[in-house]
Structure 1
Amino acid sequence: MVNNIKLSQKNLTEISKRISCPTYDRGNLKTGIVHIGIGGFHRAHEAYYTDQLLHDTSITEWGICGVALLPSDTKIYSTLKAQDGLYTLTVKEFDGSLSKRVIGSITEILFAPENPTHVIEKMASSEVKIITLTITEGGYNYNEATKSFDKENPAIVYDIANPLAPKTVFGYLTQALKLRKENGSKGITIQSCDNIQGNGHMAKKMLLSYVQMAEPSLVSWIEQNVSFPNSMVDRITPATSPNDIERLKKEVGIDDAWPVVCEPFKQWVIEDDFVNGRPLWEAVGAQFVEDVVPYEKMKLSLLNAGHTVLGVLGALSGYSTIDEAVHDVQISTFLKHYMDTEVTPTLADLEGVDLEAYKASLLQRFGNVNIKDQIDRICSESSAKVPIFVLPTVTTNLETNGSVDFAAFLIAAWAIYSLGKDENGDDLIIKDAMKATLHDRALLASSENPKAFLEIESIFGQLIASKRFVDAYTKAYQNLVKFGIKKSVLNINTI
């Protein structure tokens, strides 16, 4: 029986006898990066890259301060605070083996709702040179219908009225940048690590839209002193399960209340546009390029959209994990058709990328039976994901007279999914900020008006104006209602 050791800084020496731990002096690190959104992906990706860099070099200026921004982040804040920012990263290899190490690059943890002023002052600190973001696709407050910042969002309205006690990332960034300007500090880089094409452009556009409302005199300073590099991030990171926590205790005797699990694959492609210095992440596998956009487009429209395909079709089929869905021959065949027929023709300028090999690798990664990525996680916040992952492909194909049949089928399946039941009549777990709207429109669609679902303008924009897409969507919807998900997928695969 292995004696369990609670993960903390004081216990690191003892824990290091069991698994790999930070060998650098965490107490000697300066905070060069503030990261907003300290969920699993950040800890499997940016924090991992930074930890490896700290291992391999003698640098001391790139410690990370993690900010838990939302009231719902109380648990992750409390957990990491109690563990001195430490956590265990477990890589689930394809052969079933596990690679484990303790990550130590997050040296500070702040809870924004508890002390907004502390967070603002930290981001304005002269030693902080980069602010990075994983705030999810929906965190950018972008309205698909207007193609602009959603000024009517109640949280935004609140932040305008309460600038020193904000609720949104835009409120915090604005006050921090204002303080940097007042202090005469150097500029700073704001780097998005979210799954949005042109994520740096999006971060800049949305922030400046807010600043124009809240602190218009700050706009010119931001334009001159703040950079917003684009980046492409990739590493499948499923939600941590109770079994992951117990397995860590059983196998190595480490009591970690919130470890992170991930796949072995990782990728980070970054535009080299940093105004105040940056870590040498390229020394540990990151790739710096002049133009990230082609890589982003490839990843978002193949991997992220592929996840959405597997999630929606898998959920309706009664599956609970992504690997189950991809091992369904008809669903994987549908995904291949979608990638080959509708996505691949929209991709260009991928110098040095073997697209066929990349697509094959995705199916292997999706099928990793050790990852067990939950379908309800993949389908969460689909209202923010579909406009980013799927609709750009549809728009391009409508413009070029390319196929839209598979994307239309996916949207029709999503409409039926939004009713909340799978093929077997079991309840689906739907987590979405627009859940009520989606359900209401799905009900209208089920009442002999399939197009009602496409009338959600904030998601679909003016897509309903395309007769070709609406016809393909309506046909798919009627087939799904008549034949069910399994037979409908089989039928479209034979087109």
Structure 2
Amino acid sequence: MAVSLSLANLAKLPPDVARPGYERNALKAGILHFGVGNFHRAHLQVYLDRLMNGGRDLDFAVLGAGVTPYDLRMRDALAGQDWLTTVVEQSADRSAARVTGVMTGFVPPMDGRAIVAALSDPAIRIVSLTVTEGGYFVNPSTGRFDPGHPAIVADARDAGEPKTVFGLILAGLKARRAAGVAPFTVMSCDNVPHNGKVCRDAVAGLAAAQDPAFADWVRGNVAFPNAMVDRIAPATSDRERAITRDAFGIEDAWPVFCEDFIQWVVEDDFPAGRPAFEEVGAEFVTDVTPWEMMKIRILNGGHAIIAYPSGLMDIHFVHEGMEDPLVRAFLQKVEREEVIPVVPPVPGTDLDGYFRKVEERCLNPKIGDTIRRLCLDGSNRQPKFIIPTIADRLKAGHGIEGLALASALWCRYCAGTTDSGAVIEPNDPNWERLAAAAAAARSEPSAWLGMRDIYGDVGESAVFAAAFARHLVALWAGGARATLQRYLTGA
């Protein structure tokens, strides 16, 4: 019979389930985290759990916070189990469960006053975020913070009642400065290029709309380290809850399943102090850019290359896509011929070896990662993961056939049906716009490339436009499988 997860029941867990080796009442919150989701609990909380099991940094426990209804649901689920989480790490041939206990509480979500009070606490020295790639109010056409976004305009107008994460961070910083308390470090853990800089631009950009002098103070006094984060942690469904119950004997309302791979490369800029993450596998560097570009272009770009042909061929899981010879060959050809050659060297890293590890991770059948998840939010991800590589190759005069096909596959996917005629449910915040552009592109491909906020100058390249149009025509005429076959054989 499965045991309900709680502090009182830790000793009743099956012996093969690892559990906290530290006393929970000895923990003190030192990190306030916005966006307590699966990735955060499979990444930052796992590093902290490793440290605390070694008796280190017990004063850097996590206090949750959030600004969305999702955060309310997560808080309710975790509160019912004393903020404990079951993390199930899976390789192709092994699964292991660990209960982590580094979280001490959760500020009531969307309660601005309570969140600002928590941010004002001198014990909080790091404010970390996982608010998704699209949560930083960046204008895709400029790649810069958008001060005209309605949510930002509202927070600028009513600084006393902030609703966004960045408005709350600003209010916390103001309260600390007024009380003579040193600012906390703001640490983005999102999969965004130069995530620290992007986060600083959002905080300082909002501050500039409220008080330009305070914006200058933020830029000069608050640290925003860049970081490269990596671990696949798919959404939790009843499938994961059932496995946690049946295979590990734990009733957990919101367990986290993840791969056994984990990586974190961080710029060492924490004036208020930090946990000794380097002792448990994190790597601290002076400039994270090389690792960041490697991951974003090879791994995240690779996900997009896998995703859209698989989606059009009605493939459900990522590992099933990788088991399709055409999809895997497409990934290998585009990565080795077009992506990897324009990724700058990374200290101590063999790029082809890194790509082989990406293949191994995507082939892991235990994760249950879905093609639909990889296809999600292309309007935000393509300008970060795919289009910069195309731009670099065009600038150098190199070929872009494979990447043009990857882009045409995305366009065809957004038309809303698979090659079999099955309906693709909306899978992007801008789905309505994308679907209209994809429908128009069937007869006039420039209708898709004309989305300048996504493609920028790349969409105006005659070389890219010709290749894109040729592939899109082929996809509508013969489908993804036949088009991949022709590309791979050079026909």
Tell me whether the two structures share a fold, i.e. TM-score over 0.5. Answer: yes
| Residue of structure 1 in register with 2:484 after alignment | 489
> Which structure 2 residues correspond to residues 126-141 of structure 1 after superposition, within 5 A?
126-141=122-137
**1:206 offset after TM fit, Å?**
2.4
Q: Secondary structure at the match of 2:234?
A: coil
The question of 1:478 aligning with 2:473 is answered yes
| Residue of structure 1 in register with 2:139 after alignment | 143
Q: Secondary structure at the match of 1:65?
A: strand
Letter in 2 for 1:103: T
Q: Deviations over 1:314-348 (max 9, x none)?
A: 10111011111111111111111111111112112
TM-score by length of structure 1 reads: 0.96
CA contact (8 A) 1:94 1:368 kept: yes
> Which structure 2 residues correspond to residues 95-494 of structure 1 after superposition, within 5 A?
95=93, 97-113=94-110, 115-446=111-442, 448-494=443-489
19-28 vs 255-264, which moves further: 19-28
Q: Distance in 1 between matches of 2:113 and 2:91?
A: 42
Q: Distance in 2 between matches of 1:215 and 1:29?
A: 37
Unaligned runs of at least 5 residues, structure 2:
none
Q: Distance in 2 between matches of 1:317 and 1:217?
A: 55
Letter in 1 for 2:304: T
**1:243 offset after TM fit, Å?**
1.8
Q: Distance in 2 between matches of 1:487 and 1:217?
A: 59
RMSD: 1.4
Q: Distance in 2 between matches of 1:457 and 1:261?
A: 38
Q: Secondary structure at the match of 2:107?
A: strand
CA contact (8 A) 1:409 1:477 kept: yes
Letter in 2 for 1:71: P
**1:15 offset after TM fit, Å?**
2.6
Q: Distance in 2 between matches of 1:66 and 1:92?
A: 26
> Which structure 2 residues correspond to residues 9-24 of structure 1 after superposition, within 5 A?
9-15=7-13, 17=15, 19-24=17-22
> Structure 1 residues 401, 187: CA separation in 2 closer, same or farther (over 3 Å shift)?
same
Q: Distance in 2 between matches of 1:253 and 1:146?
A: 50
Q: Secondary structure at the match of 1:23?
A: coil
Q: Distance in 2 between matches of 1:370 and 1:191?
A: 31
Letter in 1 for 2:380: A
> Structure 1 residues 370, 16: CA separation in 2 closer, same or farther (over 3 Å shift)?
closer
| Residue of structure 2 in register with 1:86 after alignment | 84
**1:274 offset after TM fit, Å?**
0.8
Return the match for 2:27 from 12, 26, 29: 29
Q: Distance in 2 between matches of 1:106 and 1:39?
A: 13
Q: Distance in 2 between matches of 1:170 and 1:279?
A: 24
| Residue of structure 2 in register with 1:5 after alignment | 3
Q: Distance in 2 between matches of 1:348 and 1:246?
A: 44
Unaligned runs of at least 5 residues, structure 1:
none
Letter in 1 for 2:21: T
Letter in 2 for 1:369: P
CA contact (8 A) 2:71 2:109 kept: no
